[in-house]
Chain A
Amino acid sequence: MALEITEPRPMGKPIKRKEDARLVRGQGHYLDDIKLPGMLYLALTRSPYAHARIKRIDTTRAKALPGVHLVLTGEDLAKLNLSWMPTLAGDKQMVLATGKVLFQYQEVAAVVAESRALAEDGAQLVEVEYEPLPVVVDPFRALEPGAPVLREDREEASNRIFHWEVGDQAETDAALRNSAVVVKERIRMPRVHPAPLEPCGCIADYNAARAHLTWYVTSQAPHAHRTVLAMVAGLPEHKIHVISPDIGGGFGNKVPVFPGYVAAIVASLSLNRPVKWVEARTENLTSTNFARDYHMEVQLGADRQGRVTALRVTTLADHGAFDAAADPTKFPAGLFSIVTGSYDFPVAYAEVDGVYTNKAPGGVAYRCSFRVTEASFLIERAMNTLALKLQLDPAELRFRNFIPSERFPYRSPLGWTYDSGNYAATLQKALDMLDYPALRREQAERRARGELMGIGISTFTEIVGAGPSNTFDILGIKMFDSCEIRVHPTGKVIARLGTRHQGQGHETTFAQVIAEELGLTTDDVIVEEGDTDTAPYGLGTYASRSTPTAGGAAALAARRVRDKARKIAAHLLEVRDTEVEWDGERFTAAGAPDRAVGMSEVALAAYTNLPAGMEPGLEATYYYDPPNLTFPNGAYVAVVDIDKGTGAVKVRRFVAVDDCGTVINPMVVDGQIHGGLTEGFAIAFMQEIAFDEEGNCLAPNFMDYLVPTAVETPHWETGRTVTPSPHHPIGAKGVGESPNVGSPAAFANAVVDALGHLGVTNIDIPLFPWKVWEVLRQHGVTE
């Protein structure tokens, strides 16, 4: 049962979400709800070709259309030195194409008009003459000698973007040679898209008289966006006001800066009027960043008892036309080095090559702390293959290899220090919830009758909360986060954080954290995010970082407030500072618990009745630089039945036991798990941004890019183990992404498990019915 927001001592309780009062009534205030006086609308002309030389652009007809105010091309932007922009990954990306286009739907021209419909009419009237060039769709082909070099702007005459490696290759190879068993598998994590219900967009409102830009934008990282804008556009940072209003889902899609944003800003600067650009669904799916697209090859060694000896991973990362990955700057393959997962590998080695192809640029960390999903999918799939090879139960194989709980903090062979976990207890809990032995018996009985049932296990470890300043930055800016708390005279609080929620529930959970520290209720604390003029600087919300970073800042800022409050309480109670005790809701005089003052009395005194010499007011700010990342983990088990006639897979049960450390609000955590599992289910069974040989995108709308509804979505059963993070101020680890990271492998493992007796070890996701049917047919299974 959910509790009211007036509940005292709210920490750990299922308090109703404060933001829902407006969001579920349709009273949220999203970007597209904002209409400014005199506002114009921008639409983009896009390339129909995946690779083509631009011979000529004629804007005459578009400019002549009544109601059109401005038409911009790459040549116009080049005069402002803005036809290219830097990406977060250290590459650059065309804003509006000059010379050639490199992916289908690439931005070629921008048309600004009185209405959105007119802007679209104008965009259609921009005439572009293209000369098609050979298209490179396959990233393996991109690296072959003689492949067309796509990026002629670079000095390197190659489609390789980067080579990155980690671990000890020689030792790993030696260990593999000496292993009794080595399994190999090619694991593909296809290109998918976060597809938030609200697409990306912005309103640029430049005021020439004030030389000031207000920029409303669907941004998960408004402060970072402001700084990038100041650096790129040369506007002084204090004259850029970034407002990120309510966001209808981000999932990483709203971390980068997109060409449409830059075009809208240039248009507003030129016209001195507000200009709105909101992408259509097709534009979202085809141009603003995809996720994943990793081609991985794994070798996993073990001894005869199944104890792992070595892991070696080789990866081709398809970044599309520009490396627009949204990773911390020093991590071209994100945190892929978490690939050893929950298992105690003595040695490991991983390498990733980034490659250009004629596809949309990216990729973003879709509900994932930078390539952690790819890593987790790989190791959990590889462990499944090892279990099949050894004919060992996949649960038993995991129990034999888990990092034991007493080994934390645990140093992984690829360099991370895991904070805490109890993997065996977590898996055991999931198995108990399902009565795993009974399911295995049922499976054997069904198999004897020719029925296909499978059980898939994924026991993942994530790495989230980027991050400690010694390692993590974006374009040099350290990845701390912040919270500022103001307690007003009547004891009511406004807290502002450097993060920006998109549905995660910060207005409730961070209010709970602060209320708990100050002896207030969730109702007493308003949380505000997303306005760069009011909130303290922070790097935003993605990578499950808000609670590990800003959540830590919130607790620590509240403790600073409480420290000052304690002094004021001593004054009110007429005792020494050291004689004041905090009972969780009130300050009491030591040894006399009936003499007490609450936070609201203290707050009033902070403005009316201070101890001599004390600075008035009651507020604090904390910039929290976390000492380490946090390592949430979980055990997910899927149970599936396969229809032999159609290849369709039905997920009969799904148990998710998560350990995200201290739980602030169990209902919000369950909500995060349900949402992420639904996305993981979609990724496993129905989603792929695929291309044909000409580079045409085959999933440019929701007819072909499938988003599950409540009808398809399985019933989720959740459970929890709690191993607090020892270094986090409240022991929380972050949870937003665990279900998306951990679940795809559970689904895939379940399907493979159903077919394991046929000798099947791998089927690429998405597990469309036809793919499963093809495998059944190869093995002579029909209805």
Chain B
Amino acid sequence: MFPNAFEYVAPASLEEAVQALVRYGDDAKVLAGGQSLLPIMKLRVAAPAVLVDINRIPELAGFREDGQELWVGALTRHATLEWDQDLVPRYPLLGETAGSIADPLVRNRGTIAGSLAHADPAADWGAALLALRGAVTVRGSRGDRRIAIDDLFLDVLTTNLEPDEIITGVHVPRPTGHVAAASLKLERKVGDFAVVGVALHVETGASGAIAQAGIGLAAVGPTSLRAREAETLLVGQQLTPGLIREAADLAAKAADPASDQRGSADYKRDIVRVFVERGLGAVRDRLTGIRAESA
């Protein structure tokens, strides 16, 4: 199908873009990669009167490491995060996550900030950024503000962004020790949204004990979820099979899935358990490998 008729503006600066959003109010929608917005417009589920295309705004492009953080510009495509040779080895969860999204065509267009702004609980970035303890910076008519990832998602397809706010970039803390990650996704076919997704990020300190543990869950609640108790359990510990099993059970308890065509709530919760167990097992193996290499 074709979308309803709409107007199109393509501002060259962030300031103009925010002005356009203020001017058109609820009638306007930001257009980034278009990979979520255009499909729903074609189904006429969404019918914005004005599209504000942010692709020409230079401040939103690129990524860099400043101080304690990695900054990823809002327009960074999934494909960049999948393949960039500076990023992927240092931030393995970014690479693993990006590679499991959709297909190469979608990854070449879709952006990390677009995915977060869309706030689909089944999307992969939300879970990954929870595991990474990320944040976003937004610009609106009242200036800039920073939102921790835990505060971004309110409900299904709902964030705490104001209608005139644009995500300008995503922040990820720089890892300090050894890092290993795993992204596990149950999909019905390649390129499918997750039936259940689990994102794991683990940093170890000098002693080899876990300094940071992040466990993000996709598609098992109204928003992407953090398995907080499981994370707490892991910190300060060594990854043993018993600990991994305990963490997996706790993570499953954090899930709040709904039964649907993709499986019952019980099923999805159990997949969280299985995936956290498998994922932490893989993380342990990777950390062992890294320690062996650096020794």
A residues with CB within 8 A of B: 116-117, 120-121, 124, 280, 282, 645-648, 686, 690, 698, 701, 703-704, 706-709, 711-712, 768-770, 773-774, 777, 782-783
Contacts and interface: CB of A to CB of B under 8 A. Distances in A.
Contacts of B4: 121, 124
Contacts of B195: 769-770
Contacts of A121: 4-5
Nearest to B262: A770
Contact of A698 (B2, B190, B193, B261): B261
Contacts of A708: 189
A707 to B, nearest CB: 8
A704 B5 contact: no
A710 to B, nearest CB: 9
Given A770-B263, A783-B274, A706 B188 contact: yes
Nearest to A690: B261
Contacts of B5: 117, 121
Interface string B244-255: 000000000000
B263 A645 contact: no
Contact of A706 (B189, B266, B270, B271): B189
20 contacts: A120-B2, A121-B4, A646-B186, A646-B274, A647-B267, A686-B188, A686-B189, A698-B261, A703-B192, A703-B193, A708-B189, A709-B189, A712-B189, A768-B263, A769-B186, A769-B263, A770-B195, A773-B263, A777-B270, A782-B270
Nearest to A770: B263
Contacts of B205: none
Q: Secondary structure of the B side of the interface? A: loop
Contacts of B192: 703, 706
B191 interface: yes
B267 A773 contact: yes
Q: Secondary structure of the A side of the interface? A: loop
A193 to B, nearest CB: 16
Contacts of B109: none
A448 B37 CA distance: 51
Interface string B177-214: 00000000010111111010000000000000000000
B278 interface: yes
B2 A117 contact: yes
A526 B78 CA distance: 48
A773 B270 contact: yes
Nearest to A648: B186
A774 B261 contact: no
Contacts of A686: 188-189
A117 B4 CA distance: 8
Contacts of B270: 773, 777, 782
B44 A124 contact: yes
Interface in B148-203: 186, 188-193, 195
A709 B191 contact: yes
Given A686-B188, A709-B191, A770-B264, A645 B2 contact: no
B292 interface: no
B295 interface: no
Contacts of A774: 264, 267
Nearest to A766: B188
Interface string B1-43: 1101100000000000000000000000000000000000001
A712 B271 CA distance: 20
A390 B193 CA distance: 43
Contacts of B262: 768, 770
B274 A770 contact: no
Nearest to A283: B1
A121 B277 CA distance: 51
Nearest to B4: A121
Contacts of B2: 116-117, 120
B190 A704 contact: no
B117 to A, nearest CB: 20
Nearest to B103: A709
A703 B43 CA distance: 12
Contacts of B188: 686, 706, 768-769
Given A686-B188, A706-B188, A706-B189, 10 more contacts: A116-B2, A120-B1, A124-B4, A280-B1, A645-B271, A706-B192, A712-B189, A770-B263, A777-B266, A777-B270
B244 to A, nearest CB: 13
A770 B267 contact: yes
B274 A645 contact: yes
